[in-house]
Amino acid sequence: MPNGRILIVEDDATFAGLLVAILEEDGYEVTLAADGEAGLARLRAQAFDLVLSDLKMPKLRGLELYRQGRAELAGTPFVLLTAFGTVEEAVAALKEGVSDFLTKPLPDPGTLRILVARLLDESRRERRLAVLDQEELAGLPPLEMLFAGAAMQEVARLVREVAPTEATVLIGGESGTGKELLARYIHLASGRRNGPFVTVNCAAIPETLLESELFGHERGAFTGAIATRPGKFEAAAGGTIMLDEIGEMVAPMQAKLLRVIQERTFQRVGGNRELHADARVVAATNRDLAKDVTAGRFREDLFYRLNVFPVTLPPLRDRRDALDELAHYFVRQHAIGMSRQVPRLTAAALKVLRNYDWPGNVRELRNALERAVILARKEITVAELPDLLQPDSKGSGGERDGSLQSAEREAIVAALQASDGNRRLAAERLGISRRTLQYRLRDYGLLQDKKGN
């Protein structure tokens, strides 16, 4: 099978022959057209993975070929071949969507080979991501929702680059920004997409059980271990393992995880057989791990192993340009899920949503609109929104000081008060683990505060 199908449109037979020889030697299937009209006919007759076209040709110039064949190209890379005297014209063509240009005569065959390989690789990657339909996304929002807003465009670019690789990814961002959704998307856009996607919440599992959960245990390894049990790393073989809230992992487990990432091997608890860890690692945290390293709470060597390719999700307050779009999407999804008529969001309700700071981020928006859909009939008004969002609420965006830390501290104190000081219930109200709450109490000096006990 050829490495790709390439159309060359070139009226100089000698130069065209050189291009054909170089590309066929690299395993490409090459079709030659002697002028622009012939090239356009070829484009309309069959599909190609890349087009190389001379800029100046009789009958139909290269740029005009690109313009007239744009519908047939449908994202196919298009490269203009140009003499030194027309480079400026070729550069201007880039603004119209032409992928790149090459000057002729070629400086060397390697220049052509590198350009063609890069453009084909990028094109295949874009096509692979584009064909992820809603069924394949396994419940993920559509891509236009997942990456909605200007602040998410850099995230989208980074993910497109890293997803097809085997690199370890560290996803950062506040609670509720969608770190697990992004991890699942990275998995589905990778070469491991047909393998399992396994998640482990490092903060939700007691310290004494986390090692067994990750690596499994042998029969008799400890009281209650009546049978051998594989761990999450074995369950994720051939796929991806997501280690959520990695910043909450205790020091002894950090050392064992480091060994797995470094050596790609591990042992079950109570066992001595080396097992191969065939799983890509994607970690996530809402903590500043660099600060935790400085404070001695997180191993520096593990941090650098995890931080190979960091991606940070922006908070919802930095995605206000996407808020309306996200709100309408969630309303529709909730209504369909409840078999209800999709209610209309009133202008007043949308204004309240826009003015709120969303300390709980996308998760908070989704939950608020689920409540609104339950209460609404034909439309969602301000009355159907949670009290916290109301314009005269103490927690509304207009009356807060804009400090995230201040807002988070207020939310913790309020949750503790509402839970009569019960930290487990307060953590559940906040949607975080007890260990994360413990860290926050310490960070905000609330451990000795009566409201925090």
pLDDT confidence band for 135 (50 / 70 / 90)? very low
Q: How confident is the model at residue 305 (pLDDT cuts 50, 70, 90)?
A: very high
Residue 134 confidence (pLDDT):
42
| Residue 440 scores a pLDDT above 80 | no
- Domain extents for the chain? 5-130, 143-312, 316-389, 404-452
- Bin 382: left if φ > 0, else alpha if -120 < ψ < 50, else beta: alpha
3-class SS of residue 33: strand
Residue 226: the pLDDT is: 74
Closest CA to 21 of 117, 112, 102, 122: 112
pLDDT band for 452, please (50, 70, 90 cuts): very low
Alpha-carbon torsion angle 301, 303, 306, 308, nearest 10: -90
Q: Which CATH code is given to the segment(s) 404-452?
A: 1.10.10
- Cα separation, 8 vs 11, in Å, equals 10
Output the six-digit token pair for 95: 């603004």
Q: What pTM was estimated for this model as a whole?
A: 0.61
For the domain covering 143-312, report its CATH number. 3.40.50.300
Residue 6 in contact with residue 119, Cβ under 8 Å?
Answer: no
Class of domain 5-130: alpha beta
**Tell me, what DSSP letter sits at residue 296?**
T
CATH topology of domain 316-389: Helicase, Ruva Protein; domain 3 (1.10.8)
What pLDDT is stored for residue 431 in this prediction?
A: 59
User: Tens of pLDDT along 97-118?
Assistant: 788 888 888 888 999 999 999 8
Q: Residue 59's closest CA among 6, 11, 8, 7?
A: 11
Tens digits of residue pLDDT in 267-279: 888 888 888 889 9
Which of 192-196, 247-251, 426-430 bottoms out in mean pLDDT, i.e. has the lowest?
Answer: 426-430
Q: Is the pLDDT of residue 179 over 90?
A: yes
Q: Look at residue 40 and tell me whether its pLDDT is greater than 70.
A: yes
Banded pLDDT at 236 (limits 50, 70, 90): very high
Domains 5-130 and 143-312 share a fold: yes
Q: Render pLDDT for 217-228 as a digit per residue (tens, 0 to 9).
A: 887 777 777 788
